[in-house]
Structure 1
């Protein structure tokens, strides 16, 4: 009787062999394009392997090593401080549990993401923790089809049916907007990057919800788009210059918002410069609220109010869930958890 291939167990040569009613040796030769297997049989075997989600494990032949105990981690880039801290914490927990990491980068490129997924699967990782690109393709279905445990972080893939852990970006952005309103701001502008990802859309949702809840009309003048450093090959840190140019255009129109929210603290560097050139005093003439609480934020003049993201807690929960999936102790899922960030109030908002 063919073996059950549902659930999160990784598909094996034995699974393929049982579904086609042939020996493991024949299946192995067919999938490696070795002689001794007819063309029709080879085609049938390959089709069945693809159907059930079998992916060759490059290390499966090593009986001496047994399980390699590896977790694949696929992120968009290491230049983003959030992802850098995320990987550091995942690795710390994985090492304590006897696992090592295979780190792969997608660089916000769907094609490179597909290569990263394929590489992780063929490397024989036991599970994958990933930050998806959320591009035009969905390579993650191949992971679930292959029975490899998958946990997503920071960005959602609705409908995939896997575990997900993230900062509560929508609530945090709503709270920062409401904080500005409580401090007296009415003409509030949000500078956001132009990536079409769930983290940005959730922040925009929170911004709009806060305005509407306080009777402030939302329109296109409330947001300004900062070109993303991740729309082209070669990820690098956000540049303050991008936000400087956007803020300068806004100020040249004669408008000086009394509250400015930015999508990350690096954007605040550019906004500070644009305001300073025009003699506009941060914390007096206008308020600024960042996002990320990067190490330089508290040393700006004035110190930047911002949002401290719970990256360590997100990483811990995602890794704990992955380890429970791997050792068979996981509660039924999928699980979705949103961890609340902390608002850090400083002198840029009169604190």
Structure 2
């Protein structure tokens, strides 16, 4: 027999029906475990379906049931470890309830965000979990207007009536600032990414509040901004050398602060290097606290004090809220939850051993 050169063809219910000599309706009922089919016939049909490689068409089934059992997840990028872990936990929660994910990326670009929202709506997702760009436009009103359940994560959209779950960034930065103040630091510099998002704004707010609570006035000299790489497609999200340049510039100006608070642990690598280049010791001369508690942080020299983010808990609560909305068991009203992170005090602030 000559070998077929045609493209592979997806197996259908009709193929299974012809193989067992029964109607498509009988085959469909057997594969969906509906009544009206004997156990022996059901077993025969399922065995034949497996033999010929038949896989149910979820999209076709969704047309009948009015649900694709799919959750749209729209995030800014996958290079950010927070979002990577967020998606993993969302998927874990969704799978337990029989849902799959449609993952879309915005790359911190409002136009790509609009495309992602349009794609999710056209695809007929049952609900959406999103980390918004917070850019010049707000495509999310189209989601709520379409009646698609929406849960926002990490970044606030205060003008949108949607459930919201986030790390309590303000509390996290207030706690770390207080930890430094209690160690005697007074001249503290906050090193943050130059990005206009609510998470950065809230960390700045927590920093300011802690200083003022200890009678230390806040001014612009207490902050340093690292240029953001997030708007450059294909670029790594954070690099230690970016913060290294900021640290070098500060130190070359003659200012040696008591401590640095940095917006992520990658920036801490650069600050460490800038201090080491000038023979300044951590924590004896300058203390450092990071943000994120990435796997390498505890192995830095000295081990980095930092903030461990409640990523899994944020994702779990956001996903369970959306699933409850979808199955009709959610409580009424809009929910907004801020989950407090954990401060990990290590040798870079004089805690524990080096």
Matches within 5 A, 1:55-66: 63=63, 66=66
Specify the SS of the correspondent of 1:88.
Answer: helix
**Runs (5+) with no aligned partner, structure 1:** 1-58
Runs of 4+ aligned residues of structure 1 deviating over 6 Å after TM superposition are none
Q: Distance in 1 between matches of 2:61 and 2:139?
A: 26
Mark the CA change 1:123 to 1:211 in structure 2 (over 3 Å): closer, same or farther.
same
Specify the SS of the correspondent of 2:161.
Answer: coil
Q: Distance in 2 between matches of 1:277 and 1:149?
A: 52
Partner of 2:233: 233
Q: Tell me which moved more, 225-234 or 75-84.
A: 225-234
Partner of 2:8: none
Report the TM-score, using the length of structure 2 for normalisation: 0.81
Partner of 2:273: 273
**Runs (5+) with no aligned partner, structure 2:** 1-58
Matches within 5 A, 1:1-351: 63=63, 66-351=66-351
Partner of 1:11: none
Q: Distance in 2 between matches of 1:74 and 1:85?
A: 14
Partners of 1:131 and 1:153 within 8 A in 2:
yes
Mark the CA change 1:62 to 1:318 in structure 2 (over 3 Å): closer, same or farther.
closer
Q: Tell me which moved more, 115-124 or 226-235.
A: 226-235
Specify the SS of the correspondent of 2:155.
Answer: coil
Q: Distance in 2 between matches of 1:91 and 1:62?
A: 20
Q: Distance in 2 between matches of 1:330 and 1:120?
A: 22
Q: Distance in 2 between matches of 1:231 and 1:96?
A: 35
Q: Distance in 2 between matches of 1:91 and 1:229?
A: 27
Partners of 1:195 and 1:231 within 8 A in 2:
no
Note the C-alpha offset of 1:232: 2.5
Note the C-alpha offset of 1:107: 0.4
Q: Distance in 1 between matches of 2:189 and 2:168?
A: 21
Partner of 2:5: none
Equivalent pairs, count: 294
Partners of 1:162 and 1:333 within 8 A in 2:
no
Note the C-alpha offset of 1:61: 9.0
Partners of 2:62 and 2:68 within 8 A in 1:
no
Q: Distance in 1 between matches of 2:218 and 2:88?
A: 39
Q: Deviations over 1:183-214 (max 9, x none)?
A: 00000000000110000000000001111111
Specify the SS of the correspondent of 2:317.
Answer: helix
Q: Distance in 2 between matches of 1:247 and 1:112?
A: 34
Q: Distance in 1 between matches of 2:136 and 2:244?
A: 31
